[in-house]
Amino acid sequence: MSASPYSTTDLSFPAFIRQHALHRNLLLGAIAGAIVQLMLFKWIYPFADYFSDSYNYIESASYDMSVNIWPVGYARVLQGFHLFTRSDTAVVASQYFFIVLTGLYFFFTLLYFYRPAKPVLYTLYIFLFFNPLMLYLSNYITSDPVFLALSLLWFTQLLWMLNRPALFRLLTHGVLLAIAFTVRYNAMYYPLVTAAILLLSRYPVWAKLAGIGLPVCLIYLFINFTSQQNYKHTGARQFSVFSGWQLANNALYMYPYITVDATAIPPGCEAFDRQVRQYFETAPEEYKKVTPVDGAFYIKYPSAPLKSYLVQNAQAHKIEDGLRQWGSVAPVFAAYGTWLIKSHPVSYFRYFILQNARVYILPPLEKLEVYNMNSSEVWSPAKEWFEYKSNEVKAAVSPTFQGRLLFFFPTLFLILNVVFAGALVYFVVKKGWQKAERSFNLLLLASGFLWLVNMGFSILASPIVFRYQVFPMIVCLAVGGMLLAFLDKHEKIFEGN
């Protein structure tokens, strides 16, 4: 790490940016570049991008729903915009600049506390502020861009709490974590990272406990409220309607390779088990032995047991409401999936966890491959919400252009993960912490623990697609680059070990 023209102890954070010509230029360049890029991008893509999740969020916003299949936090964002404008461009632009502003906060925080070498500095700068990926993410009507920005903000706040502990940051950090959780449930492991980092911080013990407890309490209140609302709407007390579906989907990947004891079916799951057996007895071979590489196949494929049982259950009980349809069968799926997993843990590890680890290493672009699901029209809810003149949407390029432009990002994610993990192991083996400053060691601990927990959560509990991994990718790029620079600087010392 190179020396900074200023010591961070001499200047406040705003002054650090304002009083250095390079920092001012970097700030102005990022903002000016963002404006120009967004104008060009919206000329190419005058309409926002949509996929199935988009319509779920619009439905939640339109009917002011307190619960739905996906968290309602992003729906509240859409409602907020609707108070002032019906423009989808306003939503997209705000999402993009939210990423840019939180990216600037993250970027200058690293400069302020860690003084990264110039190659790392400029590489990160280009990735954050001159990257088409951020524009494509921001163009979606979905929680992805908002959650990315909130995650960057959360991690940056962690760095401030490590380097400049202050009580007000504990409060803002707790509220921020709770907000992130309402936007996407992937944030459920963030409090674990926060707890680990706070225990290493210089806060007094009571403040550490308060900082750990506040987000947990706020998230618990949200979980309890959501569970009550789900019970009210679906008749089942459950926090996430989708979790039951996910459990059953994950368990069914191993179904063709196991022998299921028909006499031990969990109570209430008999009808669903008959659907499962019928499917695997009659489905074509290519639809039986699918893997997590094929995505959430058993959730998406209409003829798979989950959707078939949903339709059967809805018809039998005359359920017309979409959320109630999904929610009423979710407990059955959760019980059945849990039973299969507990009964066949080795097969589950082999046919789901190991296969899902392959997906994590090279996550698919998925929705990012094509604009608007390769359709020239949007569904009516989007037309009505944004007051389009018609259902038709268009772009100045082919719908598949973005897939060709972004194709290398999953491979880049793989490379960054390998480099980051390898450099971190080398740093530990060579006892690099003995030569590094305490603040740098804590940065490595924070980012390393985040990397490890994110990988575990993704493989064990979450659908894996590339857009979910952009935030950890940024952390790997930034901290991994700084670590490589540190190792290069101290190479001769390490050789002596």
pLDDT of 288 reads 82
> Same domain, yes or no, for 356 and 427?
no
Strand-pairing partners, residue 49, are 140
Average pLDDT over residues 64-86: 93
DSSP for 132-191 reads HHHHHHHTBSSSHHHHHHHHHHHHHHHHHHHHS--HHHHHHHHHHHHHHHHH-GGGGGHH
Q: For the chain, what's the residue count?
A: 497
- The confidence band for 491, taking pLDDT boundaries of 50, 70 and 90, is confident
Which of 13, 176, 36, 55 is closest to 100 using CA atoms? Answer: 36
What's CA 147's distance to the chain center, in Å? Answer: 7
Query: Is 153 a domain residue?
Result: no
Mean pLDDT computed over every residue of the chain: 92
Contact by Cβ (8 Å): 372, 50: yes
> Same domain, yes or no, for 447 and 342?
no
Is the pLDDT at 40 greater than 90? The verdict is yes
Average pLDDT over residues 143-166: 96
DSSP 349: I
> Same domain, yes or no, for 354 and 248?
yes
Q: Residues of 160-185 as b/e, b for ≥16 C-beta within 10 angstroms?
A: bbbbebeeebbeebbebbbbbbbbbb
Is the pLDDT at 7 greater than 80? The verdict is no
Task: Tell me the angle at which helices 438-461 and 409-429 cross, rounded to the nearest 10 degrees.
Answer: 130
Contact by Cβ (8 Å): 430, 497: yes
> C-alpha dihedral over 449, 454, 460, 464, to 10 degrees?
-160
DSSP 4: P
What's CA 325's distance to the chain center, in Å? Answer: 26
- Between CA 321 and CA 326 the distance in angstroms is 9
pLDDT of 239 reads 84
> Same domain, yes or no, for 487 and 418?
yes
Tokens 């063709």 belong to 256
Percent of the chain with pLDDT over 90: 79
Tokens 């690099």 belong to 432
Query: Is 369 a domain residue?
Result: no
- Between CA 244 and CA 337 the distance in angstroms is 8
pLDDT of 493 reads 55
Cβ-Cβ contacts under 8 Å for 220 (sequence gap 6 or more) = none
> Same domain, yes or no, for 249 and 348?
yes
Average pLDDT over residues 7-15: 76
Query: Is 28 a domain residue?
Result: no
> Same domain, yes or no, for 244 and 357?
yes
- Between CA 430 and CA 424 the distance in angstroms is 10
Task: State how many domains the chain has.
Answer: 2
Query: Is 458 a domain residue?
Result: yes
Average pLDDT over residues 146-169: 95
Domain's final residue, options 361, 396, 429? 361
Count the Cβ atoms, other than its own, within 10 Å of residue 425. 11
Percent of the chain with pLDDT over 70: 97
- Between CA 265 and CA 263 the distance in angstroms is 6
pLDDT of 489 reads 84
DSSP 286: G
Contact by Cβ (8 Å): 53, 299: no
Structural domain range at position 472 = 406-497
> C-alpha dihedral over 53, 58, 61, 65, to 10 degrees?
-50
Tokens 């290519």 belong to 286
> Same domain, yes or no, for 325 and 251?
yes
Amino acid symbol at 479: V
Is the pLDDT at 2 greater than 80? The verdict is no
Contact by Cβ (8 Å): 368, 308: no
Which of 75, 48, 50, 49 is closest to 323 using CA atoms? Answer: 75
CA atoms within 13 A on the CB side of 194: 31
The pLDDT tens digits of the residues spanning 435-453 come to 889 999 999 999 999 999 9
Is the pLDDT at 484 greater than 60? The verdict is yes
Which of 158, 156, 153 is closest to 170 using CA atoms? Answer: 158
| CA separation, residue 293 to residues 366, 392, 414, 465 (Å) | 11, 32, 15, 10
Is the pLDDT at 285 greater than 90? The verdict is no
pLDDT of 492 reads 62
The pLDDT tens digits of the residues spanning 210-247 come to 999 999 999 999 999 988 988 888 877 888 888 899 99
The pLDDT tens digits of the residues spanning 21-38 come to 999 999 999 999 999 999
pLDDT of 321 reads 84
Strand-pairing partners, residue 392, are 377
Query: Is 149 a domain residue?
Result: no
| Range scoring the smallest mean pLDDT among 33-37, 87-91, 313-317 | 313-317
> Same domain, yes or no, for 320 and 415?
no
Alpha-helix runs per DSSP H in 285-408: 297-300, 305-316, 322-343, 345-348, 354-361, 380-385, 401-405
> Same domain, yes or no, for 256 and 337?
yes
pLDDT of 496 reads 53
- The confidence band for 461, taking pLDDT boundaries of 50, 70 and 90, is confident
Query: Is 147 a domain residue?
Result: no
> Same domain, yes or no, for 354 and 275?
yes
Query: Is 382 a domain residue?
Result: no
- Between CA 45 and CA 138 the distance in angstroms is 12
Query: Is 486 a domain residue?
Result: yes
Is the pLDDT at 4 greater than 70? The verdict is no
- Between CA 194 and CA 162 the distance in angstroms is 10
Which of 89, 106, 71, 163 is closest to 470 using CA atoms? Answer: 106
pLDDT of 203 reads 93
- The confidence band for 5, taking pLDDT boundaries of 50, 70 and 90, is very low
> Same domain, yes or no, for 437 and 357?
no
CA atoms within 13 A on the CB side of 188: 14
Is the pLDDT at 343 greater than 60? The verdict is yes
Is the pLDDT at 3 greater than 50? The verdict is no
| Range scoring the smallest mean pLDDT among 395-399, 428-432, 440-444 | 428-432
Is the pLDDT at 9 greater than 80? The verdict is no
> Same domain, yes or no, for 324 and 424?
no
**3-state SS class at 229:** helix
- Between CA 136 and CA 130 the distance in angstroms is 12
